[in-house]
Structure 1
Amino acid sequence: MLAAGLGAVPQVLAQETFVIVPDNPGGGSGVGNAVATSNVNVRRGPGTSYAVVDVLRAGQSVRISNCNGGWCWVNHGGPSGWVSQNFLSRTGGGGGDSNVRRRACFYDDIRFRGRSFCVGVGDSNRDLGSWNNRIASISISGAMTVEVCEDRNFRRCEDFNRDVATLPWWLDGNISSFRTFR
């Protein structure tokens, strides 16, 4: 049974293998915004003996609720939980993400798996060539919008401004062009 407020890992995620990276707790405390400095486990409790409930990707933004003993309780797009403070970089007290690198990554498998490529704000591609109709998920770091289009030359498009672990059925494996905006 999970502690109150932690929520359960969806069954589909519970069957997936998580990327396990070392957790090295440091010191400090405080509330605010942060960004993950590398891929890092989100755990049920403040320590490596607790189960992994999610993985933050490098550059992913989080809101820190509190820190204790080198571990911080974070809220983000996935299940909330504890993250080693050594893998978080503060981005300011109350808001904004001015220090977060704006980047979008496109993956050929759902839940940000498989082969990928990444782009920055203002990048676009009218014809994805070998990536045509292969994109299945999109991760977005920082404040930006990604427009993905079913047809080449930016036709029949949909905009996203947050991670999309599984694209809607009409776009899954059906993207031929994209562009990004701030």
Structure 2
Amino acid sequence: MNRHTRKTLLNVATAVAVATTAVVVFLPAAQAAPGTVTSNVNVRSGPGTNYGVVDTVRRGQQVDVQQCQGSWCYVSKPGPDGWVSATYLAAGGGQPVNPTQPGISFGFNLGPNGPNVNIGIGNPQQPPRPPRPPVIQPLPQPVYDEVCFFDRSNFRGQSFCLAAGDNVRDLREWTDRISSIDNQGGYSVQVCSEPNYRGCRTYTTSASSLNDFDDYIASVRIR
């Protein structure tokens, strides 16, 4: 290999390395995206129901979605920020969120094929490829992983939510305040008139009113 050929190849390799580095450095950073809460839901300290509850957001509240991990998204809002299940979020324009890949719904992606680097040296110009037709994904079915309790009938007023497996032996400030239960996931919800699960009744559906258990609940557990 003569000196001129080695120099040409070295220049080509350097150009490829510089172009690739430029793509990595100048990729756009993900920005916060607007979202809307679609149902009363707990805000947790981490991405999962095993993390503690730091706040509760109401249906219709606007939030800024900062990032998504798994089926959870970190939201910023008035009050404590934290993680919310993507099932209870809608993207801009009220579009439903895919709970298996919520980040795509909020624009946290670089495209399906990632960035491309094309460097041609002495090649004839190729005609552009026609755009691929969009792939239409079926809308995901909603997943309800929490049960919410309201202090007024017909799912109105103040509320709090519990996930499957949560147990509260003593509701304390919520004792004798619950008047309706939103149980869209069909969990076995045991409500008891006394602390430590005494004097109980079980609901497996939502209940817009509780009849003789209205304002008469002191402990609950979700199965």
Greater Cα radius of gyration, structure 1 or 2: 2
More strand per residue: 1 or 2?
1
Give the TM bin, normalised by the shorter chain.
0.3 to 0.5
Scaled by the length of structure 2, the TM-score of the pair is 0.39
Of structures 1 and 2, the one scoring higher in RCO (CA 8 A, sep 6+) is 1
Scaled by the length of structure 1, the TM-score of the pair is 0.47
